[in-house]
Each structure stands twice: as C-alpha cells, then as structure tokens.
Amino acid sequence: MSLIELRGVTKTFLSGAEAVTPVQDLDFDVQQGEFVCLMGPSGSGKTTLLHLLAGIDQPSEGRVVIAGEEVSAMSANALARWRTRAVGYVFQQYNLIPVLTAAENVEVPLLLLRMSRADRARRVAVALAAVGLTDRAHHLPRQMSGGQQQRVAIARALVADPVALLADEPTGNLDRSSATATMQLLRRLVDEFGKTLVMVTHDPQAAKSADRVVHLDKGRIVDRVDAEAAEHDHA
Ligand SMILES: Nc1ncnc2c1ncn2[C@@H]1O[C@H](COP(=O)(O)OP(=O)(O)OP(=O)(O)O)[C@@H](O)[C@H]1O
Ligand SMILES: [Mg+2]
C-alpha cells in the first residue's frame, strides 16, 4: 500500500455562481520514503492538491488515504489532531511568528500535543540540530537570513515527527545558494530520516533533487510538456 493514496479526487470551489475545479478526478500515489516534485503552470492546482494532502481542504469527491487513515472521511476535530502529528507543512513565505525565537517557533506544533516541557525542549533541540541551526535557537526571525528562516520553518514542520512533509515552493523566495542548501537539506531528510516529501516548485533546478516529477495541468496529471521540463529530462 502507498503511504499517500488519492483515488478519484475532485475539488470544486463555488465562488458566487461560478464553479472552479482545480483538481479533477485525480489518482495519485506516493510511496513511503519517496521525494515527489509537483510542477505545472500557475493555477494548475498544485497548492490545492497539497491542501488536500494536508487535510487543510477536503475533496468534493474521491478518497484521500494517508498512512492507512482516510483523511477525507475525518471530522473537523479529528482532522486537526491528525494534521499535527501526520504532516509537516513548509510555505514559500516561511510563515514564522515574528515575536517568537527560532526555538519558540519550532515548539509551536508541540503545544497542540500532550507533551511535557522537557520533552518539547528535547524535540526542539533535535529539530534545530537537524537543520543546522543550533546556534540560532534564540534569534528572532528578523535576525536571520531568508535561508535560515526557511530552515527554521523546516524544523517546525519536522518537530512532531510527521510521516509526510509537504512543501509549497520552499525555495521560491531564496537566492540560488540558499535554494541549493535548502534542497540539500530536504533531500537529506528523505535519505537519512526516511521522510516522505511532496514538494511544489517552479524551479527545474530544485526539481532535480526529487525522485520523481509529476506534472499538473488544469487539475490533471499530464506528461511533461513545457520546454523547461523537457530540458530537465536531458540533463
Ligand atoms: N479557496 C478557493 N476558492 C476559490 N477558488 C480557489 C480557491 N483555491 C484555489 N482556487 C482556484 O483554483 C485554481 C488553482 O489554484 P492553485 O492555488 O491550486 O494553483 P497553483 O497551481 O498552486 O498556482 P501557483 O503556481 O500560482 O501557486 C485557481 O484558479 C484558483 O483561483
Ligand atoms: Mg500555488
């Protein structure tokens, strides 16, 4: 069985009289320990798909099953609990809380779990060490570079030891060298920590780190079409 299993998944949003269907009748599988990259034009449904994987949105039709649990059948309460321990989410804009230090930002997901202060401190230290930021634990986000802030965000996504990491354009705001360092870190989390990673990117360079690239167009999985992707094929 796949770690992530989508069957016949459709997501329709109603805005006024208009219906938008960013994900259409999708079958999609990700294996345990796999690093999959999602690419596709703007509006092709990449973020919507990640939201469905994270249980941030529920499908209009079809089933989302992650690690044997049917996410698409959970109540809102069950979903909130499940999300904290099952998936870690990394955003393009980092989304750190500006008044909290790196360590305090990383601790936030653990506050939703039943855990002693000492256990939380231990987990935070392990996560910060994994991203190479032990020496920045007491810095505020504004005292760190973009690349360091993204590594704090990755530590926060990791800290509850989720089965899957989901990342939406994690290198979109970074310069080339920070982007490369971030991709090396993500690759290492898959190789050394056995994490499963689904990452959205527009960056063909970043996509090279993945085990597999899946192309979306108009809410469906397609064979690669664009020139950038074709170039990546021959690289
Ligand atoms: N909550 C929502 N309500 C209405 N429409 C939505 C909602 N979320 C997404 N959409 C629509 O679904 C389509 C796909 O959006 P999505 O954010 O998944 O695209 P994307 O592939 O991530 O694009 P980008 O590369 O620009 O981030 C868009 O047309 C968008 O307007
Ligand atoms: Mg998007």
pLDDT digit string (tens) for the chain, length 235 residues = 899 999 999 999 998 889 999 999 999 999 999 999 999 999 999 999 999 999 999 999 999 999 999 999 999 889 988 998 899 999 999 999 999 999 999 999 999 888 999 999 999 999 999 999 999 999 999 999 999 999 999 999 999 999 999 999 999 999 999 999 999 999 999 999 999 999 999 999 999 999 999 999 999 999 875 555 545 555 4
Ligand 1 atom 8, closest CA: 48
Ligand 1 atom 1, closest CA: 13
**How much is the pLDDT for 84?**
86
**Conformation bin of residue 91: beta by default, left when phi > 0, alpha when psi is -120 to 50:** beta
Q: Is 43 in the pocket of ligand 1 (CB under 6 A)?
A: yes
Domain 4-234 -> CATH class: alpha beta
Across the beta sheet with 35-39, the strand order is 87-90, 164-168, 196-200, 35-39, 212-217, 220-222
Distance CA(222)–CA(13), nearest Å, equals: 22
- CA-15 nearest atom, ligand 1: 4
**How much is the pLDDT for 16?**
87
Q: Is 44 in the pocket of ligand 1 (CB under 6 A)?
A: yes
> What's the 3-state SS for 126-148?
HHHHHCCCHHHCCCCHHHCCHHH
C-alpha of 173 from chain center: 15
Calculate how far, in angstroms, residue 148's C-alpha sits from the geometric centre of ligand 2: 22
- CA-48 nearest atom, ligand 1: 18
Q: Which of 26, 44, 226 to mutate to test the pocket of ligand 1 (most atoms within 8 A of CB)?
A: 44
Ligand 1 atom 27, closest CA: 42
Distance CA(31)–CA(67), nearest Å, equals: 10
Q: Which residues of 124-138 are buried (b: 16+ CB within 10 A; e: fewer)?
A: beebbebbebeebbe
End-to-end alpha carbon distance in the chain: 32
Query: Which residues have CB under 8 Å from 16's CB, separation 6+?
Result: none
Q: Is 19 in the pocket of ligand 1 (CB under 6 A)?
A: no
Q: Is 22 in the pocket of ligand 1 (CB under 6 A)?
A: yes
Q: 157 with 165: CB under 8 angstroms?
A: yes
Ligand 1 atom 30, closest CA: 43
Tokens of 13: 């949003």
Q: How many residues does the chain have?
A: 235
Calculate how far, in angstroms, residue 43's C-alpha sits from the geometric centre of ligand 1: 5
Residue 228 to residues 20, 219, 225, 233: CA-CA distances in angstroms? 27, 20, 9, 9
